Each structure stands twice: as structure tokens, then as C-alpha cells.
């Protein structure tokens, strides 16, 4: 549940006081997943109202007491970790304050607390407990207590005043809310704008001028539907939408750093390519999910590579090998799996129930360990790529065994404690060494492998008291969440339970999964989701702006056979999607956040679409699909999807570039991209060799395409902006070229806001 610091940067300096005001959903999520569990496990035994003996007069289980502090003064200074005694203590900056006293906490935990203080020490207001007593949860009542837990409705498209505007039933749900507010939808976008929007949305690349001219001049009233079909059939569709899913899957090529399996995952790309192929095939989403949770157990393991969804997550290592360290490492690893599945597929912050019953949603701690138990019975493995011939595998394994056996013999003969060898033994040793070299030289290459998960048991797990695996409580049978499955969820009895978990997640009457995915797809097309907290459908998340529309789309999604491509058609062929982004002052004054969808919101391209668009416009893009990642992204012409990514985002040149333009951290599942606008981005556009090369390429293309300055200016605007230059733009461009090179002019246009944004 980590969020890049860039997201929180606007919050730093607001000096939010602990327990005061309203914490945002993202802040609540951060506190509940990163801060409260550590306080409960490491601090409350000495610094809480339940402590047998309160030490140093310091309470850490109450926000007001936290600000007041103890015998040494205020524990925190909101916004300033360097002046906060709490940060000094856990960072061991002062030996007299060092806490916890037995051992320093990990660097990641210390960084989380530093980030929390920089955020202003938000502490969410707690509601009354949702159960009393604990074992008397009224599940039917709780399911009715919040919109997301209620069954999906089957709403009929409503009647509207203007029957001319709706192109589809979807539009009626939008228009009825606009009518009620006295607002009118924006006019339709012009065809050039619409084509650019659709092209970036579906394939992450700009249209060519030729494609734009063909669409603009097509008299067919269904011309846009033809465009949508062409884009959905493009192999680049899978590449574009795979990147969206890889955010959810917290995909990386490994290299997590301290306590997080530092090795490079050399075959991680196989999972990435599986996602691309699955989306291009329009694999039904329910099958898409089941393959990623249990592909090794279904259809003879044909989709085992899909379980990279689990296997490529962080696998924490013990610091020093102590029992306590091993328990913490296992707990962190299990938490990643629970969090990724719960937030990524269900829109629930179930990981907040790791140390205690969820503070806001009806998710008991036992439910958390019911899910964690599934993953405790699952292990990471490297397996032959499905389809690898058995004889190839056997030949390689036999070669490895022969080399290992002979190496043992050679090593044994060379031991210093043996009696001096005879001439015959010397000759035998030399022969064995020669044979060993021959075996190594002639050894076959290892067969292709993939990072997958495998079964490792079928036992239930005990609840970890305060999140400490060394303090087991009652058993938590492996089963699905009560809030979805009801009072008596079926027990998982087939091995680890992954197959049954996957089936429960995609069960059509599960009220969460289809809603969550439909909401994600809507967000990628409109810039904002119908539920604006796309990975938190719980009580501290936002309510849907159009609840009936959300359910109508979800029901339609399931009825279509969980087809994502059909969902795209439904959304994109609507009048709502095809609106312009024209600003209407009256509508803006009434609904500045555009929650009623009175226009298409202008939005900035993400880093992948922006970089790939630059390469496409300058004819530098290498469209080769799949394969191992490139480690030199700024020198490579391949799509950004194929860049190597480290989990910590600090190992490669590409990490620096991607992070600069708001690429999400791969440490945890990520629901959406948060946009920052900082000077460093524009300095990159002005000064980087990457941009200079793009400008040189564009200048060469313009010189080849047009004979004079006027023609080159017009051609540049068609290539980059899908339109003709205005008279003022043509005049300014002509004047600029009188004192600057064509490459300099090209770099200015490539760095412009218009190229960076969709309208």
C-alpha cells in the first residue's frame, strides 16, 4: 500500500495534526497498512493504554497523546521528522532514546515513519466497532451497510429529456444526472481530437497523419466504430493495456534491495509477455484472474507462467537469521500477497486487518489469516517453460548431474588431508579433470524457465496476535472473506486453496470483482474513475459518482463473457466518451471536479505513452514485441513497456527516468498514476540527449517530407498534434527558424504541453 513520495509531496507542509481534520483515503490506507501494525507489534506493550506499565509517560495509541508526548516532550513534529523524537528514537540517532530497545527496525519501516511525519501525521478518525461482541458479526446486516458489499443491481437505462444526445444506453445514466443538475454535456469532439484520444487510449501511440486524414474524410456515420475495431485488433493493444495491469501486479524484474530478495528475476519478462498475449486474445477476465492465481493447477499447468502475478512480488529475507527476523520476513511476504489480491482484484484494504480487526470495514483479523494461509501453502519456484520438450529437460538435468558428480570426485581427490596420491591416482585425477572440462564445454544450454508458484502444503494458519507470527492465536480456516461469502464461507480443501480462492473472486455474484475492473477501465478512458478510490471500495473510500452506471457496466461485462474488448466498445462508442474537453464556465463553477461528466477531462499522458509517442512521431520506434527487457531505455528505440524495472526503482538509468515522470513504485500494487509537474521534467526535455536525438530525427523527417519551412511547420503540426498550425503558429515558427535550426524548432514542439496532453 506504499505510494511514491511524489504523490504525498503536495500534502507536506499542510501540518495536518494527528486526529484532526479528515485524513484522505490514501493517508488512511498508508497509516493502517504501514504505521499502525508497527505501533501495535513493536510499541503498544510499553506505550499504550493496555500496557501493564506505561513507560516514559508516552502513549502511542492515541493521536492527541502522541502530539502531547511523554517525559521527554512531544513525540512528533508534524511535517518535520528531523525534529520528531519518534523518528530519532526508531532511527537510533540517540542511544539514550533508541527504540525498540532490543533491535533497530528495518530501513523500510523507518522510511515509512519518516514519510508519515512528512505527511503531517494523519491519524484516521475511528468509528465505533462494527461488531459486539467479536464473534457475533451480523453478516447480512453488514453486507447491507455499505454500497460495495451489496449485490450488484440490474438497473434499466433511465429516461432522459434529450433523446437525441445518447448514442447508447450508457449515455442515459450520464445525462440523467446532468439533467438533474441543470447542466448540459459538452459538444462532440472533432474527429482529429477523437482519433488521437482513442489511439492513445487503446494502443498507447499517436495516429499517423494518413490515418487522421482517412478518418476525417470518411463519410460513414459508423467510421469511429471502424477505428475502434482496428485499434482493438492491433497487437499494440495488448502492450498498452498490459502496462495498466502490470501496475496492479506490482511488476518488476526483481532487485528489491535490503531484505527483499536482491537477485535479478531474469525470466520475469515471460509473465509480462503472457499478459500482453492474454489481452490481445481477449482472454475472458475471469479466466485471466484464475490463471494468475492458480495457472499451475489448471489445464495441466498450461498457464503456469501467469502465476508470476504472485511469484514476482517481494519475498522478504530475514536480517541475521534470527527466529524473530524470519517471522517478520514471512509476515511481510504474506502481507504483500494478501494486499495485492485484495486491493488489486477486490478493491479492499484487507491488509489493514493484519494486526487487528479492520478499523473501518467488516474484515476480521481472522479473515486476513484465512487468505494469508492460502499463500503460506504456496511457494515460489522456477519451472521449465510450458511446452519445453521432456527430452530437452532430461538432457540438461543429466548433464548437470554428471558435472556435479564428477566435481565431487575431483574435489575429494584434492583434499589436503589425504595421503599423497600414487602415480595411478594422479593419472586418474588428471583424466577426471579433463573429462570435467569437456563436460562443461559441451553442456547444453539450460532450457527456458519461468518464475511461478507451486503448492507447498494444505494446512490452516493461526491468527498472529498483533501481527506477530511467533504469537499464534485461534486458527483461521482457509476460506473467502465473510463480507462477500456470507456467514458460513465454504472451506478451501484443495491443496493450498488457490483454485478455490480464484473461483470465489470471479464468482459472478461477488459484488466486488466486476465493479473493480469496470471502474479501472473507465478510469483509463476518462482520467477519473467512477469510484475515485479505485483500490478502496471500503467505507473510507469514495462512493461512486454514478452507482447505477457502475452496476450496469459490471452486469454487462459479466454477460459479455467478461470480455474486456467488448467493455471498451461499450464505453468508447458512447456520446460521453466522444465529448470534447471544452470548458463551460457555468458547468465548471457548479462542478469543477467534473464528477457529473459534463465534458471529457483533459489529461496528461503517462510516461510510457509520452515516450513511445515521441519515438513514433520521429520514426525511431522499434515495434518488436516481447522478449527480455532492455537495460538502456534512453538509448533503446523499443517501447517503454520493455524497459527493465527494479522493485526499489533505484538500480538502473531507466528507473531514474521513469520515476521522474511519475512511474509507480513496484513495491506494492498501484491503482492509478499520480501526476506531478516539477521543473526537473522540463529540464529533461530541454537538455537530455534523448530529447536531442528525437529532435534530430524529427528534423530529418521534416526535411524529407517537405521542401520549405512553411511545409515543414505544417507537417510537424500534423505529425505531433494531428492538426494544422494556426496562422500565428505558422508565423512564429517561420520567425523561429530564421535564427535557429530545424532540430531546435523540433525539440520545442516535442517538449510542448500539447504533445504531452490529451484533450
Say how far residue 710 (Cα) sits from the centre of its chain. 45
| Structure confidence by residue, pLDDT tens digits, 380-430 | 999 998 888 999 999 999 999 999 998 998 888 776 766 787 888 888 888
Print burial letters for 488-520: b (CB count within 10 Å at least 16), e (below 16).
ebeebeebbbbbbbbbbbbeeebbbbbbbbbbb
> Running DSSP on this structure, what letter comes out for residue 474?
E
> Residue 7: is its pLDDT beyond 60?
no
Residue 638 binned pLDDT confidence (cut-offs 50, 70, 90): very high
- Predicted confidence at residue 635, as pLDDT, reads 95
CA 494 to CA 502: how far, in whole Å? 12
Average pLDDT value for residue range 279-300: 97
pLDDT greater than 90 at residue 38: no
Q: What is the CB neighbour count within 10 angstroms for residue 157?
A: 17
pLDDT for the residue 132: 36
Phi-psi region of 303 (alpha: psi -120 to 50; beta: other; left: phi over 0): alpha
Task: Report the pLDDT averaged over residues 704-732.
Answer: 96
Assign 86 a pLDDT band (cuts: 50, 70, 90). Answer: confident
The torsion region of residue 314 among left (phi > 0), alpha (psi -120 to 50) and beta comes to beta
CA 555 to CA 571: how far, in whole Å? 14
- The per-residue DSSP string of 733-746 comes to HHHHHTTS-HHHHH
Lowest-pLDDT range of 157-166, 316-325, 575-584: 316-325
Q: Is it the case that residue 41 has pLDDT exceeding 90? A: no
Q: Residue 154: pLDDT above 50?
A: yes
How far are the Cα atoms of 509, 555, 556, 572 from residue 552, in angstroms, in the given order? 14, 5, 6, 15
**C-alpha cell belonging to residue 537:** 471500495
**DSSP secondary structure code for residue 23 in this structure:** -
pTM across the whole model: 0.85
**Stronger pLDDT, 153 or 64, i.e. the higher one:** 153
What φ, ψ does residue 472 adopt, rounded to 5°? Answer: -70, 145
Max avg pLDDT among 70-84, 133-147, 502-516: 502-516
Mean pLDDT of the chain: 90
Q: Using one digit for the tens of pLDDT, what is the confidence trace for 356-377? A: 999 999 999 999 999 999 999 9
What's phi and psi for 757, nearest 5 deg? -120, 150
Closest CA to 513 of 357, 295, 292, 665: 292
Amino acid at each position: 500500500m506504499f505510494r511514491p513520495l511524489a504523490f504525498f509531496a503536495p500534502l507536506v507542509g499542510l501540518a495536518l495534526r494527528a486526529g484532526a481534520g479528515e485524513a484522505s483515503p490514501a493517508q488512511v490506507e498508508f497509516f493502517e497498512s504501514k504505521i499502525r501494525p508497527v505501533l501495535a507489534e513493536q510499541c503498544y506493550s510499553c506505550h499504550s493504554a493496555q500496557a501493564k506499565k506505561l513507560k516514559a509517560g508516552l502513549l502511542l495509541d492515541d493521536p492527541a497523546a502522541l502530539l502531547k508526548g511523554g517525559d521527554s516532550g512531544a513525540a512528533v513534529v508534524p511535517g518535520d521528522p528531523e525534529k520528531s523524537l519518534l523518528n530519532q528514537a526508531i532511527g537510533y540517532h540517540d542511544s539514550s532514546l533508541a527504540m525498540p530497545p532490543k533491535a533497530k527496525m528495518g530501513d523500510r519501516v523507518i522510511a515509512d515513519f519518516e514519510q508519515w511525519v512528512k505527511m503531517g501525521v494523519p491519524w484516521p478518525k475511528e468509528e465505533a466497532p462494527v461488531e459486539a461482541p467479536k464473534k457475533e458479526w451480523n453478516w447480512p446486516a453488514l453486507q447491507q451497510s455499505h454500497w460495495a458489499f451489496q449485490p450488484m443491481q440490474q438497473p434499466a437505462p433511465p429516461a432522459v429529456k434529450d433523446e437525441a444526445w445518447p448514442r447508447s444506453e450508457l449515455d442515459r445514466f450520464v445525462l440523467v444526472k446532468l439533467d438533474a443538475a441543470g447542466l448540459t454535456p459538452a459538444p462532440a469532439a472533432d474527429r482529429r481530437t477523437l482519433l488521437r484520444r482513442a489511439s492513445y487510449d487503446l494502443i498507447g501511440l499517436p495516429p499517423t497523419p494518413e490515418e487522421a486524414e482517412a478518418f476525417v474524410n470518411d463519410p460513414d456515420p459508423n467510421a469511429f466504430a471502424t477505428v475502434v475495431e482496428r485499434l482493438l485488433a492491433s497487437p499494440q493493444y495488448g502492450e498498452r493495456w498490459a502496462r495498466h495491469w502490470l501496475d496492479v501486479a506490482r511488476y518488476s524484474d526483481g532487485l528489491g534491495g535490503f531484505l527483499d530478495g536482491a537477485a535479478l528475476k531474469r525470466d520475469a519478462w515471460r509473465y509480462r509477455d503472457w499478459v500482453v498475449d492474454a489481452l490481445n486474445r481477449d482472454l475472458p477476465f475471469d479466466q485471466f484472474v484464475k490463471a494468475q492465481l492458480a495457472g499451475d493447477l489448471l489445464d495441466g499447468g498450461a498457464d503456469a507462467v501467469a502465476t508470476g502475478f504472485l511469484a514476482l512480488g517481494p519475498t522478504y529475507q530475514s536480517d541475521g537469521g534470527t527466529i524473530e527476523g524470519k517471522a517478520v520476513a514471512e509476515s511481510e511476504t504474506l502481507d504483500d500477497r494478501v494486499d495485492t489480491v485484495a486491493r488489486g482484484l477486490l478493491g479492499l484494504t484487507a491488509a489493514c486487518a493484519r494486526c487487528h480487526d479492520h478499523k473501518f470495514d467488516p474484515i476480521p483479523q481472522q479473515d486476513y489469516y484465512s487468505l494469508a494461509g492460502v499463500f503460506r501453502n504456496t511457494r515460489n519456484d522456477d519451472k521449465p517453460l510450458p511446452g519445453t520438450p521432456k527430452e530437452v529437460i532430461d538432457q540438461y538435468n543429466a548433464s548437470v548431474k554428471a558435472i556435479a558428480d564428477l566435481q565431487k570426485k575431483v574435489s575429494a581427490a584434492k583434499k589436503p588431508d589425504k595421503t599423497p596420491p600414487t602415480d595411478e591416482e594422479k593419472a586418474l585425477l588428471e583424466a577426471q579433470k579433463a573429462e570435467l572440462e569437456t563436460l562443461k564445454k559441451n553442456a547444453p544450454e539450460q532450457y527456458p524457465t519461468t518464475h511461478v508458484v507451486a503448492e507447498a502444503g494444505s494446512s490452516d494458519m493461526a491468527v498472529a496476535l498483533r501481527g506477530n507470527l511467533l504469537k499464534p492465536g485461534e486458527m483461521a480456516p482457509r476460506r473467502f472473506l465473510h463480507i462477500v461469502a456470507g456467514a458460513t464461507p465454504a472451506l478451501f480443501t484443495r491443496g493450498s486453496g488457490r483454485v478455490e480462492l480464484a473461483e470465489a473472486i470471479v464468482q459472478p455474484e461477488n459484488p466486488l470483482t466486476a465493479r473493480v475492473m469496470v471502474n479501472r477501465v473507465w478510469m483509463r478512458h476518462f482520467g477519473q474513475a467512477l469510484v475515485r478510490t479505485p483500490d478502496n471500495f471500503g467505507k473510507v473510500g469514495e462512493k461512486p459518482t454514478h452507482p447505477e452506471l457502475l452496476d450496469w457496466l459490471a452486469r454487462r461485462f459479466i454477460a459479455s463473457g467478461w470480455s474486456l474488448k467488448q467493455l471498451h466498445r461499450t464505453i468508447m462508442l458512447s456520446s460521453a466518451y466522444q465529448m470534447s474537453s471544452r470548458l463551460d464556465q457555468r458547468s465548471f463553477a457548479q462542478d469543477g471536479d467534473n464528477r457529473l461528466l459534463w465534458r471529457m477531462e483533459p489529461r496528461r499522458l503517462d510516461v510510457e505513452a509520452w515516450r513511445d509517442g515521441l519515438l513514433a512521431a520521429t520514426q525511431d520506434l522499434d515495434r518488436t514485441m516481447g522478449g527480455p527487457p532492455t537495460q538502456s531505455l534512453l538509448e533503446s528505440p523499443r517501447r517503454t513497456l520493455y524497459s527493465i524495472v527494479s522493485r526499489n526503482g533505484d538500480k538502473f538509468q531507466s528507473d531514474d527516468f521513469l520515476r521522474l515522470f511519475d512511474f509507480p513504485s513496484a513495491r506494492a500494487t498501484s491503482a492509478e498514476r499520480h501526476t506531478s509537474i516539477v521543473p526537473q521534467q522540463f529540464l529533461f526535455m530541454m537538455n537530455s540527449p534523448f530529447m536531442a536525438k528525437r529532435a534530430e530525427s524529427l528534423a530529418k523527417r521534416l526535411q524529407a517530407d517537405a521542401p520549405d519551412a512553411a511545409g515543414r511547420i505544417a507537417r510537424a503540426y500534423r505529425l505531433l498534434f494531428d492538426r494544422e498550425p494556426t496562422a500565428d503558429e505558422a508565423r512564429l515558427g517561420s520567425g523561429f527558424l530564421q535564427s535557429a535550426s530545424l532540430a531546435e524548432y523540433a525539440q520545442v514542439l516535442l517538449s510542448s504541453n500539447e504533445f504531452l496532453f490529451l484533450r
